[in-house]
A and B are shown apart, each in its own frame.
Chain A
Amino acid sequence: MNILVCITHVPDTTSKINFIDNNTTFDKNGVQFIIGPYDDYALARAVELKEQGGGKITVLNVGEADTEPTIRKALAIGADEAIRVNAFPSDSLFVANQIASVAKEGNYDLILMGRESIDFNGGQVHGMVGEMLNMPSLSPVMHLDIEGNTAKVAREIEGGKEMLEVALPFVAGCQEPIAEWKIPNMRGIMSARSKPLNVIEPVSDEKATAVKEYALPPAKGAVKMIDADNVSELVDLLKNEAKVI
């Protein structure tokens, strides 16, 4: 089984979000970057599938040189080799073109990634890659089991899930509970240093979107505290102040 796992390099979920340069640039100052949490699930499941049936895991990131510690972490978790497409991932179409190009050359049985990145929350790349490669694309995938050339997949639908059967190869956007996140052990961290990380240049510069400006939501007003013995006051506020009931 030859698996491609695409990962994003995103701010830690606890990061405070700020923008600089007249709200045109994300402020990286003091921000810890991690493997996208959904991508981390995809990677964890790939490692489990490799443990069960053997094979090779290639991890792919579209990003500038500062993403390499994140890529090395993926290698420490269990990927065998890595590819970095040397470009800032500013647009879904741009990223999908890079992934499709790598996928065409690599002859992968399975292309996994997170359901969405937690910075831009687009949730588009897996579908675009599937269409570009003329393969099924399934997302959000909650369970994935492989038997021979066939996969059984649980996909989230609104308010539940559907069980699907699909032939390899295909593209999946993953989410929990597909696998438990894996923490790299010392042996993984040591071996990651010597695993191959190939840097390639982007194949296309086409972009369909551009961010003009970022903004933060308006600040929340102070909380109104209500005495636990006086819940009718809350009902009154919801009815007459917030007007939501």
Chain B
Amino acid sequence: MSILVFVETDEQKVRKSSVEAVSYAAAMNAGEVTAITFGEIEASELTALGKGGAGKVLHVGDARLNDGNIQAYASGIAGAMNANGYDTLVLAKSSLGDAVAARVAIKTNASLASNVASLPDTSNGFVVKRSIYTGKAFADVELKGDKRILAIKKNAVEIKEDGADAAVEAFAADIPDSDFGVKKLSEEKATGDVLLPEADVVVSGGRGLKGPEHWGMIEDLAKSLGAATGCSKPVSDIGWRPHHEHVGQTGVKVSPTLYVAIGISGAIQHLAGVNSSKYIVVVNKDAEAPFFKAADYGIVGDAFEVIPKLTEALKGAN
């Protein structure tokens, strides 16, 4: 097997989920791992991909590729797979990863599994476990054919950090002008340090917080935990918080180690976005809130009293 990993970058830095993808590829223990990345990026970021287990990094350093261009990235990756004979592509499941993976699958005639949550079982064919029904079930899926693409679920892989520096090679990808038909006009991004979909700890608030002016309390608690902040669908629907913070069935699906829900009753649509969390803490003043059934730890109490005390206690604990 010969593995290529598509590495996403943001502001010239490698994304955490892409380091997970490199670590996954190394853990497959199936031969050398090569990473491919696009656009301008810090040189030290490229060699550091070796820590996760990449022996080599192909860098397509074209400034036109700084903007996450779906079609151009797909052409570059398919070109590398064809030129160097990689039969397996690994990448992080993300809004860019999914879009790129699907196009590469058609270009290279590879089978594709997304939301992959386990290493492959190759004892009888090539089988991976993937998360389905929005986290409510799993499927063991066989990937047919001799080429395959795996989009890895976030926070499903332990990051490897003991590898040596990777060798970096410039790669001249043959990308047709027709791949640049989509023009980027502008971008809006959250300013927080921790990105919600990748976060290891998430603190979310619901309607129980009574208004956007009370979000400082959620942010303070998040800060004490090094967490990203999220919210329930009603909260983003009424405009207290932006849509990209909405956690749930039709919003962001998170899979952190710890999910803390404040003033969220736990409708099944919200649970669908958080059911991959390792531990769930629920604070709600209604003892009958359905979220308690899905929680590991629960506190029945008024958020306005409990949360400041919890933030203080956490500060003391660190």
A residues in contact (CB < 8 Å) with B = 11, 13-14, 17, 19, 37-38, 41, 92-93, 96, 116, 118-128, 130-132, 134, 136-140, 142, 152, 155-167, 173, 175-177, 207-217, 220-221, 223-228, 231-232, 234-235, 237-239, 242, 244-245
The 3 closest A-B pairs by CB, nearest first: A127-B102, A228-B301, A160-B189
Q: Taking the complex as formed, is B188 at the interface, i.e. its CB lies under 8 A from any CB of chain A? A: yes
Query: At the interface with chain A, which of B30-38, B41-49, B107-115, B161-169?
Result: B107-115
What distance in Å separates the Cβ of A24 from its nearest Cβ neighbour in chain B? 10
A123 touching B184, Cβ below 8 Å: no
A238 touching B98, Cβ below 8 Å: no
Q: Which residues of B contact A217 (CB under 8 A)?
A: 135-138, 275
Q: Taking the complex as formed, is B12 at the interface, i.e. its CB lies under 8 A from any CB of chain A? A: no
Q: Taking the complex as formed, is B170 at the interface, i.e. its CB lies under 8 A from any CB of chain A? A: no
A164 touching B250, Cβ below 8 Å: no
B111 touching A228, Cβ below 8 Å: no
A124 touching B105, Cβ below 8 Å: yes
B243 touching A128, Cβ below 8 Å: no
A166 touching B198, Cβ below 8 Å: no
Task: Count how many chain B residues have C-beta atoms less than 8 Å from C-beta atoms of the other chain.
Answer: 96
A208 touching B268, Cβ below 8 Å: no
B102 touching A231, Cβ below 8 Å: no
Q: Which residues of A contact B195 (CB under 8 A)?
A: 158-159
Q: How far is the CA of A42 from the CA of B88 in the complex (A)?
A: 33
A231 touching B309, Cβ below 8 Å: yes
B103 touching A207, Cβ below 8 Å: no
What distance in Å separates the Cβ of B148 from its nearest Cβ neighbour in chain A? 9
Q: Which residue of A lies closest to B196 (CB)?
A: A159
Q: Taking the complex as formed, is B272 at the interface, i.e. its CB lies under 8 A from any CB of chain A? A: yes
Q: Which residues of A contact B217 (CB under 8 A)?
A: none
Q: Which residues of A contact B198 (CB under 8 A)?
A: 158
B243 touching A121, Cβ below 8 Å: no
What distance in Å separates the Cβ of B315 from its nearest Cβ neighbour in chain A? 10
27 residue pairs A–B, Cβ–Cβ below 8 Å: A41-B250, A93-B105, A96-B106, A119-B132, A121-B133, A126-B99, A136-B182, A142-B243, A159-B196, A159-B197, A159-B244, A161-B244, A162-B186, A165-B185, A166-B181, A209-B141, A210-B144, A214-B139, A228-B299, A228-B305, A231-B306, A231-B309, A234-B281, A237-B297, A238-B258, A238-B281, A245-B225
A209 touching B111, Cβ below 8 Å: yes
Of B114, B178, B187, which one neighbours A122 at CB under 8 angstroms?
B114
What distance in Å separates the Cβ of A137 from its nearest Cβ neighbour in chain B? 6
Interface centre among A19, A41, A176, A234 (most CB of B within 10 A): A234
Of B102, B139, B313, B317, which one neighbours A126 at CB under 8 angstroms?
B102
Q: How far is the CA of A237 from the CA of B258 in the complex (A)?
A: 12
What distance in Å separates the Cβ of B198 from its nearest Cβ neighbour in chain A? 7
Provided the pairs A163-B185, A175-B250, A217-B275 are in contact, do residues A131 and B102 lie with their beta carbons within 8 angstroms? yes
What distance in Å separates the Cβ of B225 from its nearest Cβ neighbour in chain A? 7
Q: What total count of A-B pairs have CB within 8 Å? A: 266
A221 touching B296, Cβ below 8 Å: yes
Q: How far is the CA of A121 from the CA of B132 in the complex (A)?
A: 6
B140 touching A213, Cβ below 8 Å: yes
Interface centre among B137, B140, B178 (most CB of A within 10 A): B137
Of A17, A140, A223, which one neighbours B298 at CB under 8 angstroms?
A223
Interface residues of B in 272-294 (CB under 8 A from A): 272, 275, 278-279, 281-282, 292-294
Of A130, A161, A176, A235, which one neighbours B188 at CB under 8 angstroms?
A161
Q: Which residues of A contact B127 (CB under 8 A)?
A: 212
A128 touching B138, Cβ below 8 Å: no
What distance in Å separates the Cβ of B231 from its nearest Cβ neighbour in chain A? 14
Provided the pairs A158-B10, A215-B138, A223-B298 are in contact, do residues A244 and B106 lie with their beta carbons within 8 angstroms? no
What distance in Å separates the Cβ of B179 from its nearest Cβ neighbour in chain A? 9
Interface residues of B in 149-166 (CB under 8 A from A): none
Of B134, B185, B281, which one neighbours A121 at CB under 8 angstroms?
B134
Q: Which residues of B contact A214 (CB under 8 A)?
A: 132, 137-140
Q: Which residue of A lies closest to B281 (CB)?
A: A234
A223 touching B296, Cβ below 8 Å: yes
Q: Which residues of A contact B101 (CB under 8 A)?
A: 124, 127
Q: How far is the CA of A221 from the CA of B136 in the complex (A)?
A: 16
Q: How far is the CA of A232 from the CA of B297 in the complex (A)?
A: 13
